[in-house]
Structure formats: C-alpha cells, structure tokens
Amino acid sequence: MTQEIAITYGILILAVVLFVTEKLRTDLVAILVMLLLAWSGVITIEEAFSGFSSNAVIAIMGVMILGYGIDRSGLMNLLAKKITDTVGSKEKRIMVSVSGTVGILSAFMQNIGAAALFLPALRKIGKQANIPAGRLIMPMGFAAILGGTLTMVASGPLIVLNDLLGDGGYEGFNLFSVTPIGLMLLATGILLFYFFGNFILPKASEDEKEESKKDLQKLYDLPRELREVSIPKGSPILGKNIEEIDIWEKYDLHILGISQEGSKTYIPWRKTTLKENQSLVLLGEKEKLEAFIEHEKLREKEALEEFSNLTQEDYAGFAEIIVPPRSGAIGKTLGEFALRKNFKVEPVAYIHHEGEKTSLLKKPMEAGLQMIVFGRWEDLHQMKSSSDFVVMTQVKPPKEKGKDRKPHALFSMGLGIVLVLFGFSLSLSFFTGALLMVILGVVPKEELYQAIGWRTVFLLAGLIPLGLAFEKTGGAELAATWMMSIVGGWGVIPVLITLALLATLFSLFMSNVAATVLLVPLVLIIAENFGLDPRGLALLVAVGTDNSFVLPTHPVNAFTMGPGGYSNKDYMKAGGLMTLAFLVVLVTMIYFFYI
C-alpha cells in the first residue's frame, strides 16, 4: 500500500465516521473531504475543486430550478387538486393514484419536493374519506423514493454516476436509460402496498379514525378565545418587549396583533416594545386571558374592534407545518430562527410523533418536527415558498396578478428534455431550460438562488474528488483486488446480489451520493474481471443506494415520519419487505438487460 492510498483510505474512514455519527452536516463533511484531499497532495488543487464544474453539479442545479419553476407556476397545485377531486374515497384507489403520481413527478424534481407537494392534499383526502394519515403517507413517501430511479436526473446518485463513468473512461447513460428499472421498481412498490398494505401498514384504531375527522383546533385542543385589550398608563408591561413580559411561558398566551393610531402589525416580533394606548389581540384559554389582563392592568374591550377579521375563516386560522430535512431551522430555537419576524406566523404548539402537544420554548427544531401555527392565509401561502418549512394544511392561494406562467413552465421543462433526447449533455440541456424559466418570468430573478439546494450542490461537489482520488491513487483497484479474492469464484448473480446489498447497507448510514462515489470505481474494476459490462454494474450500485426504506434515515422517510405518526418499527416492517422486493427487481433487471 502506497502513502497516497493510505492517506485516501484515512480520509475515507474519517468521512464514514462523520457521516455515521452526524457530528457534522453531510455537506460540511464533503467540503472537509475535498480540502483534506487537496492539502494532502493526493490530488491537485484543480482536481479537488473540479466537482464545482462537473456535469453532475450543473445538471442538478438546473433540475432544481426547473422543479422550483414548475411548482411555482401552479402546475403541481392544479394536478394535486384534480387528483383530490377525482380520486374518490376508496383507500387503495387513493393510494395507487397518489403514489403513482408522486413517483412520476419524482423523475424530474427532488423526491422530497414531490412528497411535500402532495402531503397537504393527501391529508385532506384522508380526512374526507375518514382514512387515517398513517395508511396513506408511507406508500406515498416510498413512491417518491422509487420515483428517484426513473430518470438519470431523478436523484443525486444517478446524476453523479455519469461523471464517475466519464472519469473511468466509459460512456455515460442517456436520460431514460434507467427508466425500465425505475418503472418496475415503482410498480412493485405500489403493488406491494396494494396487496399487503393491511399487513405492513400500522392498523388504524377507532380513536384514530375519529381523529381524522376533526379539524386542527379540536384535534390538538388548541386555544379558542380571542380578546382585544388596550394598554393604559400605569400598566406593568409598558416599555417592555413581548419577550420580557413572559407571556408564553407564564400565561400560555399569544399576541396575534398590535395596533396604534390606525397602524396594524400582525404577529409582532418578540422584540417589539409595548407602548401606551396600543391595542393587542390575544389568543388563549379564557381563565389565562382573564388572569393576564387583571395582573397586567390592561383594559379589555367589549368586542374585537380592529382585529375582527382574525375570526373570519377565510382570512386567518391554524395551520400545521413541518420542518423538512436540510431546513435552515434545524438545530435552532424559535427565537434564534425569528419565525414570527420572518414568516408572520404565531407558533402555538409542537406535536410529538405520538400526536401530543409539547412546549415550544427553548426547544431546538429538528427534521420531521410538526408545529401548529396561527396566521393569515396570505402569510401562510407565502410560507409555502420557503424551503425551511412545509405547510401541510391546504392554503387557498391569493388571486394571482399578471400572466399565467404554466405554459412557459411546461415549455422550459420540455425544452430541457428535448435537448437531452437530441444528444446534448444533461447539464447543458437542463441549465438552458432553467435559464429560460428565468427569462420568461416563471422564476423571478430574485428567487433564482433560493430555488437551488446549496447543501446538495456542495455535497456533490465535495464528494466527486473523493471518487477521483480513490481511482487515481489505486485505492479502488486495491479494494477490488481484495473483494475479488472473496467473490472471484462466485457466479454472476451472487456477485450482483452482494454489490446491491453493499450499496443498500452504505445508504442506510451515509449519504447515498457518498455511497455511489465510493462504490462505482470499485465495481468498474470488478466488472472487467468478471467480463461484465462495467456500466451495468455501476448502474446497479447507483440505483441500489436508493434502497433506503428499512430505517427513517432517508430524507423522505424522516420527513413523513411525523405526519404519518410512524415509529422505527413501522419502517422496519414495511421497509424490510420493500427492501427485499427492491433487491429482487434490481438484480433481475440488471442481469437480463444491462450486463
């Protein structure tokens, strides 16, 4: 073993440890790996930063912008509404229709985006049909993951695969090369839940069925009383800001608005100073409201005067939101993230996976966390465009001003696909379509950069040099030689199963992109030793890293765990069967059609 190989393996081991222990975010681990490779001299500085100019990174940026534009144009909401209106009330029909649609959408947009898009619609359908959310959400989430195998731009591993093949001197795949595998996997997943859903999905108790009929206020026993008060001279709260009067922890009350001299502020920031003659609108339980008003010497009004619109169901109300993976809110408290200031919504309660309310104060937010907020529908609709939260309650959008951009969005996406079909590279084709979306006004230039998931970009750009170093130093050849000493006498099918299992195992404990970067250089050498098509074996590994169902470690599973009320046991039960079915279909398809 040379010094360069030893250094590369040392950096690899460090990366794996950091991925597994989650001491650093995955994108930061990737950047650290990239810098360590450059500082160690294993690869050149140009090679270390080559990931940022790679086709994979440019392609995924283009796909993200296109997906953002399609969503922003209202096309996806229109599709979701049509399905909601026509799907009926039969559980299996709902499951097949929604899961199939989400799977197809995941072929051209991030799978978590497709899942997030349909989650509010699915909750509404379930409520109307009296079907608990847990019976519908997991099949939809699994379909989103499976949809990530439908095209070569559907997931990070498939996007990065062509770059890895190019580095090894092999021709890449075209856009739809993987589609036969993806369609078989998606169909298998849907059929699995269709025939075995009663056995692998959590059973719905009578209480859960009753709860599915309730609105948020009844379901979570949310406060109902609204009172409008004014601050007279001599009140103890004069001159203090909202945070200082301890209104949340001491009284469990919420200030929904402040008015003075005709100027209104809805959902004031916690640092807002309280002044004489201001009017406040308070939300809470009757006894606590009366105690606060009496203790702070406030003057209660007979009725809501300036904030009566907050009682109108078409103006404001409660909404359920969730913190998705990769949200900027993860690890921060409400105060640190300034939820009120940034989004104009009032947080009322956190919801445990078990469906119980808990305190909001001083609790860092985490992926999959559910929260109940109160706000105006126009503010909640604006919140839907944020990547930091997913609004699960269906919110009626305000009337759009200006041109309908749906045709422009379709044309831009269609152009990108047509260019790929004519033989142009994925990066050039989809980035051209993305730019056209900006030029045509589908994606405002002010929102262009927020459309891109920069953590994913840095994850890809940082890990691509690791694959390059693995191959350049001979580390991949060394690992392949060792593995050949074990599987050299085996048949082709046992080798395919072993590699697919290895890809699956890696993806459970680290980024699936990282697993692909590590395994592809290895399998290219193994394929040559077995006389197989190296591209087919590389595709086996890249698709295999999406086989992440048995634990809620995949971003989509982490995202759906809370809304579905699932436990780790639920994922092991349904995900275990899905994992086995995935392996059978993948190995069979690769064996007969790709090698």
Each residue of 75-125: pLDDT tens digit?
877 877 787 777 777 889 989 999 999 999 999 888 887 887 788 778 777
**How far is 567 from 587, CA to CA, in rounded Å?**
29
Tell me, yes or no, whether 450 lies in a domain: no
Task: Calculate the average pLDDT of the chain.
Answer: 86
Tens-place pLDDT, residues 373-404: 999 988 888 888 787 888 887 665 555 555 78
Tell me, yes or no, whether 335 lies in a domain: yes
Of the listed ranges 254-258, 368-372, 429-433, the least confidently predicted one is 368-372
What separation in angstroms does the CA of 117 have from each of 4, 110, 144, 170, 470?
Answer: 46, 11, 11, 37, 38
Tens-place pLDDT, residues 28-59: 999 999 999 999 999 999 999 999 988 889 99
Tell me, yes or no, whether 347 lies in a domain: yes
Tell me, yes or no, whether 406 lies in a domain: no
| Contact call for residues 487 and 495 (beta carbons, < 8 A) | yes
Q: Decide: residue 176, CB within 10 A, 0-12 exposed, 13-18 middle, 19+ buried.
A: middle
| Average pLDDT rounded to a whole number, residues 345-351 | 85
DSSP 89: S
Tens-place pLDDT, residues 478-505: 888 888 888 777 889 999 999 999 999 9
If one compares 144 and 468, the residue with the highest pLDDT of the two is 144
Tell me, yes or no, whether 327 lies in a domain: yes
Tell me, yes or no, whether 566 lies in a domain: no
Answer whether 0.85 is exceeded by the pTM. no
- 3-class secondary-structure state, position 515: helix
Give, in degrees to the nearest 5, the angle at Cα 365 between 13 and 572.
Answer: 60
Whether the predicted pLDDT of 221 surpasses 80: no
Domain that holds residue 330: 316-391
Alpha helix ranges (H) inside 148-240: 156-167, 179-200, 206-211, 216-219
Tell me, yes or no, whether 573 lies in a domain: no
Whether the predicted pLDDT of 357 surpasses 80: no
Tell me, yes or no, whether 311 lies in a domain: no
| pLDDT at 470 (0 to 100) | 85
| pLDDT at 489 (0 to 100) | 77
Tally the domains of the chain: 1
**How far is 221 from 284, CA to CA, in rounded Å?**
11
Render the burial of 261-271: b for 16+ CB within 10 Å, e for the rest.
Answer: eeeeebbbebe
For residue 323, give the CATH number of its domain.
3.30.70.1450
| pLDDT at 361 (0 to 100) | 61
Whether the predicted pLDDT of 292 surpasses 70: yes
